[in-house]
Amino acid sequence: MKLAQHIKVRQRVVATAITYMRRVYIRKSMVEFEPRLVALTCLYLASKAEESIVQARNLVFYIKRLYPDEYNKYELKDILGMEMKVLEALDYYLVVFHPYRSLSEFLQDAALNDVNMNQITWGIVNDTYKMDLILVHPPYRIALACIYIASVHREKDITAWFEDLHEDMNLVKNIAMEILDFYENYRTITEEKVNSAFSKLALKP
């Protein structure tokens, strides 16, 4: 997310914002809650929840600078107005558990915390937020699936380590397959297609 890079927020803030947004759209439609405004608002809320506060006016400034055509109509009052609607949609529950902590602990325990494995597994975990895994699977199991994919990719045999966990490997492998399927399908979805879909939704009465 270009905006997150410009306002210099941690990846955890972005992950929390994405999770909020996914939770919102379990209950609300994209016609009812305009996705671009919800995304901005969720990032604002996440920055507060993760104690890495970004001023809403800064969000407005940078988003207009980065995407003048798509976001020019939004003002500070729009984010603040949507904030209460998003909070209501979330039932005011802002706690999110992420796979990151489990990932670090597992890599350490499996003696896989070298630079390459860290980069690969963290990258895969970040990519899982483009899916709805965080809504349906325990974060620790998502972390295990990412380690499983990376270990296969790097040809590291950690079968014994997985066995010592006494975890249901069928569940872990199923999540891994979901991630790999996503990678296969994601190649066909361009940013232009996403923006086009959002624009059509914004025109709905």
Q: For every one of its 205 residues, what pLDDT tens digit does the chain have, with 9 covering 90 and above?
A: 677 777 778 899 999 999 999 999 999 998 889 998 999 999 999 999 999 888 888 888 888 888 877 777 888 999 999 999 999 999 999 999 999 999 999 999 999 988 999 999 999 999 999 999 999 999 999 999 999 999 998 889 999 999 999 999 999 999 999 999 998 887 655 566 556 655 555 544 4
Where b means 16+ CB within 10 Å and e means fewer, 164-178 reads: eeeeeeeebeebbeb
The pLDDT score that the predictor gives to residue 204 is 44
Instruction: Tell me the two tokens of residue 19.
Output: 């999770």
CATH number for the domain formed by residue range(s) 2-95: 1.10.472.10
- pTM, to two decimals: 0.85
102 and 140 Cβ atoms separated by less than 8 Å: yes
The pLDDT score that the predictor gives to residue 189 is 53
Give yes or no on whether 2-95 and 100-186 have one common fold: yes
Under CATH, what is the fold of the domain 100-186?
Answer: Cyclin A; domain 1 (1.10.472)
The pLDDT score that the predictor gives to residue 205 is 40
Domain spans of the chain?
2-95, 100-186
